[in-house]
Amino acid sequence: MKPMTKFVLAACAAMALNSASTLAQTAGNDGYLVNNGQNVTKSGFGLCWHTSEWKPGSPDDCNPAPKPIAAAPAPAPAPMAAMAPPPAPVVVAQVPAPPRPLSQKISFSADALFDFDKAVLKPKGKEMLDGLVQQISGADYGTLTATGHTDRFGTDNYNQKLSERRADAVKAYLVSKEIPATRIAALGKGEAQPVTKPGDCKGAKTAKVVACLQPDRRVDVEMSGSKTVAANR
């Protein structure tokens, strides 16, 4: 065989090899030059040889499909700090309120203490006041107030003075029983504070009307302090 004939055969063989590579790349890995094993032919630097059919974004041996990135595991919860115990409740000391002053009023009939229209204590009236002294001895009292009252018969001026004289008589007797005079007040209200109602004892000054007005003729003794005792009315 002549030399030219050998060159033609070699060229034909190269063309056949190139055609086989092209057919191989058509069978798989489109867009890259492949060898007879249908693997992408790479350069010595690991680069792929593109052909005219190569399109960006096509997955293959040189551009594999991106793998989903696994989500990073959630960080473990930080250990909870030891919870501080709740603050102890504030206990406010209850200061007891000071005892309120108590008062007790005892009404003595003026007719029982004195003769009618008089301001001198009768023996029976003194006995009644002795019972009051016994009650006072068992009571923590602050002050005593003796207040005299009259009925409506008589002038305002006369009744005022009569009520004062009777209150003074009661105070003097209590002082004689060792009750300090500084702790006893004597007042007179005359006919200004009746116990009976306006329509109870109507009429002129008759024995019946005078008897009806008896509750108005009285001496009230009021005790005030932190403790009192029951009174016999």
| Boundaries of every domain in the chain | 1-61, 102-225
- Residue 10: the pLDDT is 40
Q: What contacts 68, CB < 8 A, 6 or more positions away?
A: none
Q: Output the six-digit token pair for 181.
A: 């005079």
- Residue 82: the pLDDT is 53
Nearest CA-CA partner of 31 in 6, 61, 51, 4: 51
Q: Report how far Cα 195 is from the mean position of its chain's Cα atoms.
A: 47
- Residue 7: the pLDDT is 38
Distance in angstroms (rounded) separating the CA atoms of residues 169 and 146:
9
Distance in angstroms (rounded) separating the CA atoms of residues 109 and 148:
10
- Residue 151: the pLDDT is 93
- The pLDDT profile of the chain, 233 residues, written as one tens digit per residue, is 444 444 333 433 444 444 444 444 444 456 666 666 566 666 555 566 666 666 666 555 565 555 566 666 777 765 655 556 677 777 666 666 665 556 788 899 999 999 888 999 999 999 999 998 988 876 677 889 999 999 999 999 999 999 999 999 999 999 999 999 999 999 999 999 999 998 899 999 999 999 999 999 999 999 886 554 443 33
Distance in angstroms (rounded) separating the CA atoms of residues 89 and 200:
63
- Residue 87: the pLDDT is 75
Distance in angstroms (rounded) separating the CA atoms of residues 89 and 92:
9
CATH code assigned to 102-225: 3.30.1330.60
Distance in angstroms (rounded) separating the CA atoms of residues 14 and 20:
10
Strand locations in 114-177 (E): 141-149
Distance in angstroms (rounded) separating the CA atoms of residues 176 and 146:
15
How wide is the angle at C-alpha 145 spanned by C-alphas 143 and 146, nearest 5°? Answer: 150
Q: Report how far Cα 49 is from the mean position of its chain's Cα atoms.
A: 85
Sign of CA dihedral 196, 197, 201, 203: positive
Question: For the chain, how many residues are written?
Answer: 233
- Residue 16: the pLDDT is 42
